[in-house]
């Protein structure tokens, strides 16, 4: 069995899935892939099954309804931990994350990082093809989260990650209720505050070429509310 599992959550990604899986096989050919599909009505799950039938390194987890990004990843993490993978990858299905960065990110985890974040907001990182409003929301949201949570992480909302399985196993995944951006913030912050080593690796994030973004006002509102509550609970000197 491979040492690395790449978890790819999907919902209505039929136009993007095959391309990202092909790029993953190119850049991390030794890794296994878990596609977690939330009963996509556009046929993504059917495509995922076809890809898995042609490649024994691909497994598909079908969920019966759209239950959110956070729970999709938690299901993927539990699958990985139960099968003793040493590193676990988060990557979007829409092609926004470049798989060519994965060998370096996995290498950082293998050399002692508990969490490697593909970061847009450190030196060398960038975002392409985003409107100014979305750039402002992401950049300002990350600055607010850093301030409220007293974090040193620049890109808490990044969805491109490599976890060392041993570190992830120490978290109480059943206690994680957040979704979307907030899910990413919560897991990174939990690892940081418990003394785990978090490394930010600069990436260029490219806006999806096909399909529709899953980002909406509710995701932003949830993140702001939860981050504010968490921040207010921190004891200040």
Q: What is the pLDDT of residue 221?
A: 75
Q: What is the pLDDT of residue 12?
A: 94
- Interval 74-88 mean pLDDT: 97
Q: What is the pLDDT of residue 161?
A: 98
- Is residue 208 over pLDDT 70? no
Query: For the chain, which domains are there?
Result: 4-233 (3.90.550.10)
Q: Work out whether strand 126-128 and strand 198-202 pair parallel, antiparallel, or are unpaired.
A: unpaired
Q: Work out whether strand 58-62 and strand 161-164 pair parallel, antiparallel, or are unpaired.
A: unpaired
- For the segment 23-48, what is each residue's pLDDT rounded down to a tens digit? 999 999 999 999 999 999 999 999 99
Q: What is the pLDDT of residue 150?
A: 95
Q: What is the pLDDT of residue 234?
A: 79
Q: What is the pLDDT of residue 107?
A: 97
pTM of the model as a whole: 0.91
DSSP the chain: --SEEEEEEESS-TTTHHHHHHHHHHH-TT-EEEEEE---TTSHHHHHHHHHHH-TTEEEEE-SS---HHHHHHHHHHHHHHTT-SEEEE--TTS-S-GGGHHHHHHHHHTT-SEEEEESSSTT-EEES--HHHHHHHHHHHHHHHHHHT---S-TT---EEEEHHHHHTS-GGG----HHHHHHHHHHHHHHTT--EEEEE-EEE--SSS-----HHHHHHHHHHHHHHHHHSPP-
Q: What is the pLDDT of residue 16?
A: 95
What rounded mean pLDDT belongs to the chain? 91
- Is residue 223 over pLDDT 90? no
Q: Report percent pLDDT > 70 for the chain.
A: 93
- Spatial contact of 188 and 153, defined as CB atoms under 8 Å apart: yes
- For the segment 181-194, what is each residue's pLDDT rounded down to a tens digit? 789 999 999 999 99
């Amino acid at each position: 069995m491979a040492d690395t599992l790449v978890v790819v959550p999907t919902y209505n990604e039929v136009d993007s899935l095959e391309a990202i899986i092909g790029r993953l096989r190119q850049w991390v050919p030794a890794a296994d892939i878990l596609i977690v599909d939330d009963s996509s009505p556009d046929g993504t799950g059917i495509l995922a099954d076809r890809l898995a039938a042609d490649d024994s390194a691909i497994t598909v987890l079908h969920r019966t309804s759209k239950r959110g990004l956070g729970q999709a990843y938690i299901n993927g993490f539990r699958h990985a931990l139960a099968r003793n993978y040493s590193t676990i990858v988060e990557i979007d299905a829409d092609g926004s994350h470049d798989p060519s960065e994965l060998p370096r990110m996995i290498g950082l985890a293998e050399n002692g990082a508990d969490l490697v974040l593909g970061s847009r907001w450190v030196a060398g990182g960038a975002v392409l093809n985003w409107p100014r409003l979305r750039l402002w929301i992401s950049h300002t949201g990350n600055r607010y989260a850093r301030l409220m949570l007293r974090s040193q992480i620049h890109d808490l909302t990044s969805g491109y990650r490599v976890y060392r399985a041993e570190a992830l196993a120490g978290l109480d995944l059943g206690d994680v209720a957040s979704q979307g951006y907030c899910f990413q913030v919560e897991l990174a912050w939990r690892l940081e505050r418990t003394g785990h080593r978090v490394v930010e690796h600069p990436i260029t994030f490219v806006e999806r070429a096909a399909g529709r973004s899953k980002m909406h006002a509710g995701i932003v509102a949830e993140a702001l509310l939860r981050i504010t509550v968490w921040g207010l609970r921190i004891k200040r000197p």
